[in-house]
Amino acid sequence: MSTTAELASVPVRGKPAQNQGRPDRFRADIQGLRAIAVSLVLLYHLWPNRLTGGFIGVDVFFVISGFLITSHLVGSVPTRGADLVRFWAKRIRRLLPAALLVLAATLIGSRLFAPETQWDNTAREVMAATVYGENWRLAQTSVDYLASENAASPVQHFWSLSVEEQFYLFWPILILLLAGLARRRGLPTLKVVLAGLVVVVGGSLAYSIQATSTEPASAYFVTPTRMWELGAGALLAVMTRLAAARLGRDAERERAGGRWTLLAWLGLAAVALTAVTYTGATPFPGWQALLPVLGTVAVIGAAAAPAGLSPTRLLRLRPVQWMGDISYSVYLWHWPLIALLPAVSGGHLGRLDKFAILVASLVLGTLSKRYVEDAFRFGRRVPGIRRTYVLAAVAMSVVLVLAGLQVVEIQHRQQQARAELEQALSGDNPCFGAAAWSSKVTCQPVPYSDILPSPADAAKDKSDAYSDNCWVYPPFRTTKSCIFGDKNGQVSIALLGNSHAGHWLPALQEIAKQKHWKITTFLASECTPSTTPVQWDTDAKQAGCLKWAKSVQRQIIKGHFDLVVASNRNGHPAVGLTNKKSQSAWQAGYRDYLSTLDRAGVHVSVIHDNPFPGKPIPDCLAENPDQMHTCDGRPDRWVPRDPMVAAAEELHSSRLSTVDLTRYFCDEQSCPAVIGGVIVYFDGSHITKTYSRTLAPYLLGPLTAAVAKSR
């Protein structure tokens, strides 16, 4: 996405390798490939359901970048540190000005137009993008089940730029070391470089295949799984240089012209095929990325002449070349527009909105290319090497400080909100939280300015199971438990399930304060305690979840708990079924699991799963402060069928009981997003810690009765 300037520095097939440090000719076909790549990404982000594999445009960019950068490096092999300093200075002048401009504009735009719930995350991602570490931040959050419901960050597209910048930092050092090794051993430099790159590319590809099969969410972003794609272009650059030196005559290319034209068409066909057939469900990158990568390699390697039926005749058309020329800036600008415009247009991108984004991306890309990119590279006062680094450090610091100030401000607001929250919880307001449903007094609606926790703070208002790291995460290789309440309590409670069990912990803690109960958690992210295999994105997660459920079952039986409190959300379909058709399979798995506990004499109380909004409630409230009711839902849409409750009731055992607190979430007409001045959900399905605490009085009776039965 960042190498338009280097398009001239590419050897032509059949040209001698003389003057290798100097450009040989302009590669219009590569410029055209860049236009195709950015168009695929742009169209995919605007119409993801129509161009389902458009994301592979990024992979096309990677190959181009690897090829062009390595062509420069092997054309003038770095031999000392000063060569690297000059190389990086060029990259800074080429990439940083436009990137920092977009980051600063996005930070300001987010503050002006996005809801306050997104300010903190946007500021932190701007900081990560500024230092080109966004891909690692996204890799970390991609495996966080709760983070998956967050609104899209307006700078998350910087993940690919981060990968490239890390490549630009590492690759010249690698080539310098390989070239140094060749000189010391008296071996041909390019052949040693080629051998070294083959090892790196092969290792990266192998790791990409392995990581994509075990943790595809994070594998999509991390640098080691992507390095081979840039490396594929790099290998082509070295082999092209070697071939040019060996052939040394133009006639060879002319005799093979038809063959290279066919190869170029086949390469474009491979890219097009993946763009229309791949989907978000395709495990990627892994071996599936070979098709678009090798297709791009074929087009670049063919270097087809613009004659006859060659695709280069199309790729060199003026509109295509213009699109390729502004592709870097278009890529920078398009995603912030897509992410922020819904905050202005009412939360949905219509056809007019998408057309406006398309036009704005092209206009901003053109202006940015001319007045920012070119000004720092070809202007009258192009900074020298030392000044380049100084200006870069100052500009990056400015963006980091602006983002940091926003983070500090949000933290200060959250501290104030938490103080207000603790004061409210310690009071005796009969209309606070769930009490509003059963209050004998008339409870008045609470204005947006007074709801607790604040929408910006609600997303972090989670049970202590998160701060105390009490979770087992995919692929569930172990079990884990935490103890809360009275550690010496005579009544021992086990809390069992996934995140929809974990959000009941605050209510149990309130009860434990009164009853001196000891609470032991057995919690796994997304995994349900069941014998039914459900569909995961890897076989290891599917097997690990079943193994965790069985292991926890044994621990509970041996633990002699007075009561097991269980609750779950079923987010994964049974193997071979859809979610809608999985109800009976889920119920059967719970029935088997609970019957085993029942036969062992374990008492279990199953809490009916809470209503499921399916949209981030804090964001909705922040976007609609004067119409908070628009964030409410209907019981027939939000209240789920609970297969674990159905299984417990089906078994008709005195040791199995159920608790349904739906009446404290919904009445006959509505499921409010705010009840008694308290935000009910911290995302699209999980209960806030605050609202959970207000439910304790209504959970106390059923659980006390269940404990009494067990003793």
Please provide the size of the chain in residues. 711
**Predicted confidence (pLDDT) per residue in 579-633, tens digit:** 889 999 999 999 999 999 999 999 999 999 999 998 899 999 998 898 999 999 9
How confident is the model at residue 23, as a pLDDT?
A: 41
**What gap in Å lies between CA 676 and CA 665, rounded to an integer?**
11
In eight-state DSSP terms, residue 452 is B
How confident is the model at residue 7, as a pLDDT?
A: 46
Q: What stretches in the chain show pLDDT beneath 50?
A: 3-24, 249, 251-256
Q: Pairing state of beta strands 517-524 and 471-472?
A: parallel
How confident is the model at residue 145, as a pLDDT?
A: 53
DSSP 3-state of 347: coil
DSSP 3-state of 606: strand
CA distances to 594, 692, 704 from 598, rounded to whole Å, are 6, 28, 19
**What gap in Å lies between CA 173 and CA 158, rounded to an integer?**
23
- Asked if 241 contacts 17 with a C-beta cutoff of 8 angstroms, the reply is yes
CA distances to 141, 419, 461 from 435, rounded to whole Å, are 35, 21, 19
- Asked if 13 contacts 253 with a C-beta cutoff of 8 angstroms, the reply is yes
Strand partners, 452: 678
- Asked if 573 contacts 534 with a C-beta cutoff of 8 angstroms, the reply is yes
Q: Residue 57: exposed, middle, or buried by beta-carbon count in 10 A (0-12, 13-18, 19+)?
A: buried
Which domains are delineated in the chain?
Answer: 4-404 (no CATH), 428-710 (3.40.50.1110)
| 430 contacts: CB under 8 Å, gap ≥ 6 | 439, 440, 441, 443
Residue type, 346: G
How confident is the model at residue 142, as a pLDDT?
A: 76
DSSP 3-state of 566: strand
- Asked if 595 contacts 636 with a C-beta cutoff of 8 angstroms, the reply is no
**Predicted confidence (pLDDT) per residue in 649-686, tens digit:** 999 999 999 999 999 999 989 999 999 999 999 999 99
